[in-house]
Structure 1
Amino acid sequence: MTKVHYFFDPLCGWCFGASPLIDHLVQRDDIQLNLHPGGLFDSRELSPETRQHFLESDQKIHSMSGVEFGAAYQAKMRDADSVVLDSMLPIRAILAAAQSGYSATEMLKRIQLAHYQQGKTVHSVEALNSLAADMGIPADTWNEIFAQTDVQPEIASTTSLMMKQHLRGYPSMTVEIDGQWISVPVQSYFGNLKAWETFWNQLSR
């Protein structure tokens, strides 16, 4: 198994752009994917200028990666009286999914789709409970583990690892080869799944 470390934030548009690449890694049986969530947003209200900047970045991400930013999301970013982004509860949901015995990457994907396509407020407990139910996580298990999950140690670990590996920004990725963590230029493969697959096939030989 090839160990891969993925550094991300669930509300990072460029990480959403990387989602087809992450899907490919999840489907492989020769890759062990380790998630390292960061905390970009802590209940941050976006100014109109920031919202416009994000929408412009989203267009670039779409052109490079092919991921679709939904009409509901775009309307919310353009027209809502207030837009608040908070990574903390979505990260807690991702960690809680794994601790419940389910897929952390699946929860990440559902959070990204709910935010970037459906325009949902994914830092609401109700929205995250609904995503957990859709994944088939029993409500009693989910409620107990979600309530007890602490995101801060994980975020601190992510920050420490990124500093140690000289990684800047999300998404970042490293692969362990002969005891060394080698950086993988994720964004270079946006929109080119064939080259991405070839890269990992050659690495796994």
Structure 2
Amino acid sequence: MSQQSKVNIQVSYIYDPMCSWCWGYRPSWLALQQAIHEQLPDVHINYSLGGLAPDSDQPMSLHTQEVLKHGWKRIANQLGTKFNFDYWEKCKPRRSTYPACRACLIARESGLEEQMIVAIQEAYYLNAKNPSDDDTLIALAKKIGLDEIAFSKQLSSPEIQQQLLSEIQQTHTLPINGFPSLVLSIDGRHQRIQLSYLHWEKSFEQIQKIINLKLRKGYLGVIMRALHYKSH
């Protein structure tokens, strides 16, 4: 067993499935995640929901729509991310991401959280579908292999809503700076990782450096305690 496996090391990815910057970050996150799996196999990857916007039936204001459109254009220009702007004509936008967050929690129970995230993102940003609508989420649940009837019941259940609120509360105790965010936790001690949208290697190098430093300090601490014990 490696020294690394003797401590609890976790990288948390803080996201909202309807966060446009999370969509822009997706290629880099996939590359970073793969590097962690291959080169740091003892590090656990955890997905945590941040929750952008609570449930609302109110139409999104024209001002907010323009702000979000501008954000999409900025991400497309900076990162080359694809967006389907037909969404703003075909759908009735609402500032409400909690339904999509609950969908991800339900999918997590079946080990399908990552599949649900990408299904929501592709529906929203590429296919001009509205993930604020339950009908859209139920169709996506069926698409990724979940039972649509059971999913539909859970989507509006108080239990899932409370689970979401608890997770959001816990997430906001971490050292995050908006969404997406990365947090490295070693034996319960948290440190924010700098996030690069185009150069995932920078985040990986920081993670490696912190882990190596922490493990080296821990190893030296064990030696010093052993020497202190032998001297008595």
TM-score interval (norm. to shorter): 0.7 to 0.9
Look up the SS of the partner of 1:11 in the other structure. Answer: coil
> 1:130-171: CA deviations, max 9, x gaps?
222222234465456545451333333323442x33434222
User: Which one of the candidate residues 88, 105, 112 is aligned to 2:98?
Assistant: 88
User: Which one of the candidate residues 133, 141, 145 is aligned to 1:136?
Assistant: 145
Tell me the amino acid that sits aligned with residue 129 of structure 1: I
Partner of 1:35: 47
**In 2: Cα distance, 1:87 partner to 1:120 partner:** 13
Partner of 2:165: 155
| Kept in 1: contact 2:83–2:126 (CA 8 A) | yes
User: Which one of the candidate residues 60, 77, 86 is aligned to 1:46?
Assistant: 60
| Kept in 1: contact 2:49–2:101 (CA 8 A) | yes
Identity %: 22
User: Which one of the candidate residues 94, 97, 103 is aligned to 2:112?
Assistant: 103
**In 2: Cα distance, 1:168 partner to 1:155 partner:** 19
What pairs up with 1:1-205 in 2 under 5 angstroms? 2-27=9-34, 28-29=36-37, 30=41, 31-41=43-53, 42-43=55-56, 44-70=58-84, 74-77=85-88, 79=89, 82-99=92-109, 101-139=110-148, 142-143=151-152, 145-146=154-155, 148=157, 150-162=160-172, 164-186=173-195, 189-200=196-207
Tell me the amino acid that sits aligned with residue 107 of structure 1: M
Structure 2 residues not aligned, in runs of 5+: 213-232
| Kept in 1: contact 2:18–2:121 (CA 8 A) | yes
Return closer, same or farther for 1:69/1:144 CA change in 2, 3 Å cut-off: same
* Structure 1, 14-23 or 139-148: larger mean CA deviation: 139-148
Could you list the structure 1 runs, at least 4 aligned residues long, displaced by more than 6 angstroms after superposition.
Answer: none
Look up the SS of the partner of 2:198 in the other structure. Answer: coil
**In 1: Cα distance, 2:20 partner to 2:167 partner:** 22
> 1:165-205: CA deviations, max 9, x gaps?
3434222220113542110122xx11224444555565666
**In 2: Cα distance, 1:110 partner to 1:204 partner:** 33
Select the structure of larger CA radius of gyration: 2
**In 2: Cα distance, 1:168 partner to 1:193 partner:** 17
User: Under a length normalisation based on structure 1, what TM-score does the superposition of the two structures give?
Assistant: 0.79
Structure 1 residues not aligned, in runs of 5+: none
* Structure 1, 61-70 or 106-115: larger mean CA deviation: 61-70
Look up the SS of the partner of 1:181 in the other structure. Answer: strand
Look up the SS of the partner of 1:93 in the other structure. Answer: helix
**In 2: Cα distance, 1:21 partner to 1:152 partner:** 31
> 1:24-68: CA deviations, max 9, x gaps?
344442342222213322225321121111111112222333321
